[in-house]
Structure 1
Amino acid sequence: MREAVEGAWRALTGSAPGPFELTGTEDVLPGPYRVAAAATASIAAATLAAGELLKQRGIEPGVVTADTRHAAAAFHSEQLLRVDGTGAESVWAPLSGNYRTADGWVRLHCNYPRHEAAVCWGLGVPGTRGAVAKAVAGRPAREIEHAVVSAGGAAAELRSPEDWAAHPQGTAVASLPLVSLEPVGAAPKRTFFYSDRPMGGVRVLELTHVLAGPVAGRVLAAHGADVLHVGAAHLPRVEALVRDTGQGKRSTFVALDTEGGRARLKKLISRADVLVQSFRPGALEKIGFGPAELAELRPGLVIADLSAYGWEGPWARRRGFDSLVQMSNGMAFGADEPSPLPVQALDHATGWLAAAAIMTAIHRQLVDGGTWRARLSLAGTGRWLDSLGRKDPAGAEVDYSDLMEDADSGYGRLTRVRMAGGLPGAEPHWDFGTRLPGVDKPTWTP
């Protein structure tokens, strides 16, 4: 696994990492892909990046540690979360799932009402699983994918790895780095306010939805950042995921479809240090918040853009989710039916790597200044995971009970997975549990 950590760190920094130790075995997660290795490596990379910021504060970080069992727990934290002793409900809507087609399989993502409506509109059927299954069964998978995507929905045909490698988007993803980190504007060198935590005093504005973006914000919060998640009262949420990924963050509502809301967002950005966003590619540009506008509005901002299929190629603006990317890129390809990864690994790994990229960009600002932009994608993370090779698909029985902790939250008493990654100089932790959506004012704390 050391080579996975070193590879991720080189992708972030171009250099060798500081001292780190890894523990545990990869059989904590089943399946042929080295998901546990990728989980451990992405957690180690983020923790190493936090350690570099500690050094800038004159604090010795110590030897970074990462454990495969803890990494596995962190990568399905939404499944392990308990609220007042009750387990999390399913995150999938009734129409979401895999459907057999006339020539293979397709996955439909219907967790949001607008996506469910797009499936029904695109296929010309009522909103019942039976009606959708019947309509899908008589048509080719690619035709279903096209119909749903054209209607504004989210769908993916099950492709083989070979088909994906030959696909124009697969080719585009193969040409992109795991992490793109580059300056997009001039700004003076950053100066840290005093803190004994890596991200202490750093303001992070999070405009994200499930799941990679919220994971990135959760990691930054655990390292001391003031993270403000921005949502909207009228937009649907997957509450089980909000409860899990909202640790240590404040939450506010801003209606970006109004002039007043956009003015409020400008004010927030003008005092932010980091903006993490996972809107559909191009959506923020349409309302005046593209990279050039952001660099002008807030010189010295770190911008992190997360997407499903990457920032080049014919699918660069296509909406997507972890489960869909696994279908498209062949990771879910099975002999008789789709065989997905054991956890939402593309989402989680992308979130941890995004947090690492953000902290790396802040480190560069301390040294060189500038406004920086990081770009990552689920498909790019999938390519990295694929490059790690394969393992014995058997998985062991794993007990995570000693990795859980209790915390109060707006939803009740949470039993959650403790923050992963060891940093002796400033052990990461969340200062409070998940707050209810929208309860905080859209302002920065003093």
Structure 2
Amino acid sequence: MAQHETTEGGYGPGTYVDTSFTPLPQECRRLLKYFAQITPGFTQDDDVLNDVDFVGNELPILPGPLKAQAMSAVLHAMCGLVGREISEMRGVETGKITINTDQAGLYPASASLVSINGKTMNDMAQDPAILAAATNLEHGALMKNPMHLRAWSIYPTKDAKVWYQIMSNLDAPGFLKAYGMDSEAPVKSNDEAYDLMKAEFSKYSAGELETKNVEHGFCGQTCYTPQQWRKTLMGKRLAGHPIFNVTRARGIRDLPPVPFPFMPADKRPLAGVKIVELARVIAAPALGAVLSSFGAEVVKVESPDLPDPNALQMSLTAGKYTCPLDLNKEEDRQRLHKLLEDADVVVQAFRRRSLERKGFGLEDLLDMANKRGKGVVYLDLTCYGPDGTYSERPGFQQIADAASGCSYVCGRAYGFGEGVSVLPSLPVADMLTGAAGALDVMLALRDRARHGGSYHCDAALTAIDTIQLEPEFGLYSPDIVKRIQDVHGFAPMTPDLHVSDLLFVVIKAWAETTDVLKRKEFFAHFEESPFGKDHVILAPLVRYGNAEVSPYWTHSPVPYCQHPEVQWAS
């Protein structure tokens, strides 16, 4: 494969900008072959890779220099190819794979591309009936008032060239109290709240903010340049792991291969596979939604007491069961243990080692697999990766964006001065890590069926961000960033904006400048759902030539804790 040509430094230290533009479908083909080369266990056969058709417009629809749209398309293509291998093991032909790159651009916005009864997400925010159906899962953690919302913004520090991503960990009152601020301060707007907080946070250096947040158990992150991140101990440690990190668990019983279940009524690749999802917010629920669309039976275990944004229940629970369990209660721990006895896959996205303390860590599940004589796939999804100095720190998508340099690069691309950082326009790290984690699980399930054993997978938000900044990947040049902006006229993106603000900016521009939101083939339609009639969400991206095998969801998204007595159906 020919080396990709870039020039260094276009968006600051450690950035690599393409010397020429390749239309999006062709760029996806190049990146598919690149990822195939760096993914252990993935096919290297050009004939197989060339059996994926990428179709769509040549220009991306996402603003900024990151090739998130191409990565979205490629990750789903890889899931489709492994799904085809699994289908062949089951004696089912899939035919060619098609990925629409325009739809792939919508994928990072999945959580907000929802309509119910003809009302968009923005309309639903004003509809008491729909909000009541969703329940107030967020508990006011984010949207209660401007102080809560702007406790998730990027702020200047004492060093005018170093900015810092502030995160309140869904506990704005406790976080702001640590800095002598009141979460109920009588501010009248988001801008006023931002200015109030900026005056306080700019008294600290980035290092002082880091120390204070660690002392109080909060997350936060200096907005590094890509070069700075690569030089940190944590950056070096994370770079030592493959992006798609699947390993066979060693030092345990040699467990036999586990064939995929025979499911004559459901020809999707993962039909009959049982998955327990222990997670909230976006990345791991997105992962579970991909696996559910490929046919897996997914039970999303949810705490009745932890906040979780309402909107995600309207999209990322499609095809799943949602089961309320409080793992602080012995009775509920026993119920989860019973559920796990038959599980093929466990996906967990809480802070590393937190589930170990409750008896549901990797070693606990490997021991359970040994006793039952059937291997398990266990996936850890974290912010910083499987080991190293930051590995047990809490983190969200915004933290990964700040650490990796993605926020810094976006700030430079949008014309701001040195150090001023801006979030990528959508929850890119979350959604792409979900797709990458789904690929990990599918690779592990394939290998369990071929070779037996149990498997451990690691997916990290920061790893997915950093790969997009490598020279082999490349960034779009300022000319291309301007071309995209000229077509869509996105409103200004600034350091104060939360991802929910940016989602609104992007979706509004799409609605006014392109037909992508009107393409019926891009969306899944459910006539009835617990939220109302005509529930519409973004459809799965993978399309096989054999429509019977193509991913789909068996039922609409469901509310929080909808199935208190859930049992495995298959």
What is the TM-score of this pair, normalised by structure 2? 0.74
Residue aligning to 2:531? 411
Contact 1:111 1:238 in 2 (8 A): no
Give the paired residue count. Answer: 444
Distance 2:398 2:63 in 1: 17
CA contact (8 A) 1:304 1:374 kept: yes
In structure 1, distance between residues paired with 2:177 and 2:226: 30
Q: Which residue of 1 aligns with 2:20?
A: none
User: Retained in 2: the 8 A contact 1:406–1:416?
Assistant: yes
- SS of alignment partner, residue 66 of structure 1: strand
Is 2:420 the partner of 1:342? no
Distance in 1 of aligned mates of 2:310 and 2:34: 35
Pick one of 290, 309, 313 that aligns with 1:238.
309
Moved more, 226-235 or 85-94: 85-94
In the alignment, which residue of structure 2 is the partner of 1:13?
A: 41
Give the secondary structure class of the aligned counterpart of 2:561. coil
The counterpart of 1:371, out of the listed 447, 454, 468, is 454
User: Following superposition of structure 1 onto structure 2, how do residues 2-401 of structure 1 map, counting pairs within 5 Å?
Assistant: 2-10=29-37, 11-16=39-44, 18=48, 19-24=51-56, 25-89=58-122, 93=143, 94=149, 95-103=151-159, 104-110=162-168, 112-113=170-171, 116-127=172-183, 128=185, 129=193, 131-184=196-249, 185=252, 186-195=254-263, 196-298=267-369, 299-333=374-408, 334=411, 335-336=416-417, 337-387=420-470, 388-391=473-476, 392-393=480-481, 394-395=483-484, 396-397=487-488, 398-400=514-516, 401=518
Q: Say which SS state the counterpart of residue 381 (structure 1) adopts.
A: helix
Cα distance in 1 for partners of 2:208, 2:59 equals 38
**CA shift for structure 1 position 264:** 1.3
User: What amino acid maps onto 2:237 in structure 1?
Assistant: A
Q: Please report how far the alpha carbon of residue 308 of structure 1 lies from its aligned counterpart in structure 2 after TM superposition.
A: 0.4
Distance in 2, matches of 1:355 and 1:277, equals: 12
Q: Residues of 1 paired with 2:78 and 2:229: CA distance?
A: 28
- Deviations 1:146-179 (CA, angstroms, capped at 9, x unpaired): 3123212221221112211111111111111102
Q: Post-superposition shift, 1:327?
A: 1.0
Q: CA deviation at 1:424?
A: 2.3
Instruction: Give the distance between the partners of 2:40 and 2:321, measured in 1 at CA.
Output: 28
Cα separation, 1, equivalents of 2:440 and 2:73: 16
Distance, in Å, in 2 between the alignment partners of 1:42 and 1:382 is 14
Quote the residue 1:434 is aligned against: 557
Is this contact kept in 2: 1:169–1:313, CA < 8 A?
yes
Match of 2:543 in 1: 422
Which amino acid counterpart does residue 21 of structure 1 have in structure 2? D
1:142 positional shift: 2.8
Residue 118 of structure 1: CA displacement? 4.1
Following superposition, the deviation at residue 111 of structure 1 comes to 6.0
* One-letter amino acid matched to 2:261: F
After superposition, the CA RMSD in angstroms is 1.9
Q: Compare CA radii of gyration and give the structure with the larger one.
A: 2
Deviations 1:106-153 (A, max 9, x none): 22223623xx24422432322143653332122223322331232122
Which runs of no fewer than 5 residues in structure 2 stay unpaired? 1-27, 126-137, 144-148, 186-192, 489-513
- Structure 1 pair 126/168, CA: closer, same or farther in 2 (3 Å)? same
Amino acid at match of 1:235: L
Q: Cα distance 1:99–1:109, how it changes in 2: closer, same or farther (>3 A)?
A: same
1:145 & 1:433 partners in 2: Cα distance? 42
**CA distance 1:26–1:358, change in 2 (3 Å):** farther
- Match of 1:65, SS state, is strand
Q: Is the 8 A contact 2:313 2:558 kept in 1?
A: no
